[in-house]
């Protein structure tokens, strides 16, 4: 992504992606302080939302907490399924950019009518329906998204969740560290992608994303649909080598985020040799595949990997001549509450 190229910055999507750098620099982890003690007392936290408002924000925070061995029991589920659970003893955080997402609002109405008192919301707009039925409400500082595909708000939502789980565990997220990661995100966004790789991805029948179930590759799968208009599939862990190769085609591409080093040979044998497809890695270390190198941000690496994925998808969309801001069918509010 080249911020000096007017062909790119004419798109609101690109400007929002670049604005994510300032989102990281300006985020104050103390913003979540009002709900730290209620969540700590509950000992259980459900992170819910739909699409981009849940995939990376919830899963990345949850995986981080598990790696730290935190006592807080964190779960994530889309709101309709979450409404089938007994959440009476859980704090519940619902995320919706618009604050009008039907599934989340129905869940919060159900919880409120049942006397639930730990309902927290995160929205991009103040005064929304969701905010009105939350016990504590937060409004993002990043502003509205210019395009249908959410980017800068996804990272700010994720920062809210990350700051919360760290604070509950008694290890506040250092604000200075976010400035360092912001510079890494800028680097990942502005690294030139090899035109040969872009052309290969643009010509793919299906674009597969592989990686940990930490929200990064899964969120980039959704962004692939929204930005490139191509079929895409998320293959968690090493699932790509466990049967799905039966339906893969030689013209397909697999983008692998932070590959497991001990699985590289198997992927090369099963997918490159067996299927004839192309594997491209996004990683902080060299791999046996063509690799888009990114800085190592440690336990905040997901934010940098996400930015690198956005960069790849913008390059692919531009190669395909797509209007990055205006999908044919996707909407900013996927399912708007009308009650």
**102, two tokens:** 């039907």
Backbone angles phi, psi at 94, to 5 degrees: -105, 130
How sure is the predictor about 149, in pLDDT bands with cuts at 50, 70 and 90? confident
Distances (CA, A) of 327 to 50, 144, 311: 18, 17, 18
Name which of 309, 319, 76 is nearest 210 in CA terms. Answer: 309
Residues 43-52: what's their mean pLDDT? 96
In sign, the C-alpha dihedral spanning 276, 280, 285, 286 is: positive
Given this model, what pLDDT does residue 92 score?
A: 98
Residues 84-111: what's their mean pLDDT? 96
pLDDT at 333 over 80: no
Of 29 and 150, the structure prediction assigns the larger pLDDT to 29
Given this model, what pLDDT does residue 183 score?
A: 97
Of 193 and 8, the structure prediction assigns the larger pLDDT to 193
Which residues, 6 or more positions from 113, have their beta carbon under 8 angstroms from its beta carbon? none
Average pLDDT, the chain: 93
User: How do the domains of the chain map onto residue ranges?
Assistant: 6-173, 182-319
CATH class, range 182-319: alpha beta
> Residue 331 and residue 148: Cα distance in Å, rounded?
6
Question: What tens digit of pLDDT does each residue of 288-330 get?
Answer: 999 999 999 999 999 999 999 999 999 999 999 998 877 665 5
> Residue 65 and residue 43: Cα distance in Å, rounded?
13
Question: What tens digit of pLDDT does each residue of 217-269 get?
Answer: 999 999 999 999 999 999 999 999 888 988 999 999 999 999 999 999 999 99
Task: Kindly write down the DSSP assignment for every residue of 229-291, as one continuous string.
Answer: ---EEEEETTGGGTTGGGG--TT-EEEEES--GGGHHHHIIIIIITT--EEEEEESS--SS-E
Given this model, what pLDDT does residue 332 score?
A: 47
How sure is the predictor about 337, in pLDDT bands with cuts at 50, 70 and 90? very low
Question: What tens digit of pLDDT does each residue of 291-302 get?
Answer: 999 999 999 999
How sure is the predictor about 331, in pLDDT bands with cuts at 50, 70 and 90? very low
pLDDT at 339 over 90: no
Given this model, what pLDDT does residue 338 score?
A: 58
6-173 and 182-319: identical CATH topology:
yes
- pTM of the predicted model as reported, rounded to 2 decimal places: 0.93
**Is 3.40.50.10490 the CATH number for 6-173?**
yes
> Residue 97 and residue 151: Cα distance in Å, rounded?
11
The single residue listed with the structure tokens 């594997």 is 279
Residues 167-190: what's their mean pLDDT? 96
């Amino acid at each position: 992504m080249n911020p000096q190229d007017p062909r790119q910055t004419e798109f609101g999507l690109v400007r929002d992606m670049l604005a994510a750098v300032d989102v990281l620099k300006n985020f104050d982890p103390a913003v979540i302080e009002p709900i730290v003690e209620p969540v700590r007392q509950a000992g259980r936290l459900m992170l819910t939302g739909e699409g981009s408002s849940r995939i990376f924000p919830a899963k990345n925070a949850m995986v981080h907490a598990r790696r730290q061995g935190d006592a807080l029991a964190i779960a994530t589920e889309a709101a309709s399924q979450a409404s089938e659970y007994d959440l009476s003893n859980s704090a519940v955080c619902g995320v919706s950019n618009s604050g009008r997402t039907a599934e989340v609002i129905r869940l919060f109405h159900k919880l409120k009518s049942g006397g639930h008192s730990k309902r927290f919301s995160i929205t991009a707009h103040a005064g929304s329906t969701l905010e009105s039925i939350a016990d504590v409400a937060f409004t993002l500082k990043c502003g509205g998204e210019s395009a249908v595909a959410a980017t800068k708000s996804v990272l700010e939502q994720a920062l809210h969740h990350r700051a919360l789980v760290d604070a509950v565990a008694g290890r506040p997220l250092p604000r200075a560290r976010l400035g360092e990661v912001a510079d890494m995100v800028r680097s990942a966004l502005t690294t030139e992608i090899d035109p040969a790789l872009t052309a290969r991805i643009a010509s793919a029948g299906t674009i597969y994303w592989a990686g940990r179930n930490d929200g990064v590759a899964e969120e980039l799968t959704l962004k692939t649909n929204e930005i490139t208009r191509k079929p895409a599939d998320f293959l968690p862990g090493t699932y790509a080598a466990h049967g799905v190769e039966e339906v893969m085609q030689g013209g397909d591409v697999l983008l692998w985020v932070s590959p497991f080093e001990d699985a590289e040979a198997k992927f090369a044998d099963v997918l490159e040799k067996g299927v004839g497809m192309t594997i491209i890695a996004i990683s902080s270390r060299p791999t046996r595949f063509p690799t888009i190198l990114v800085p190592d941000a440690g336990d905040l690496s997901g934010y940098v990997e996400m930015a690198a994925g956005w960069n790849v998808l913008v390059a692919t969309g531009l190669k395909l001549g797509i209007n990055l801001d205006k999908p044919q069918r996707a909407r900013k509010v996927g399912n708007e509450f009308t009650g």
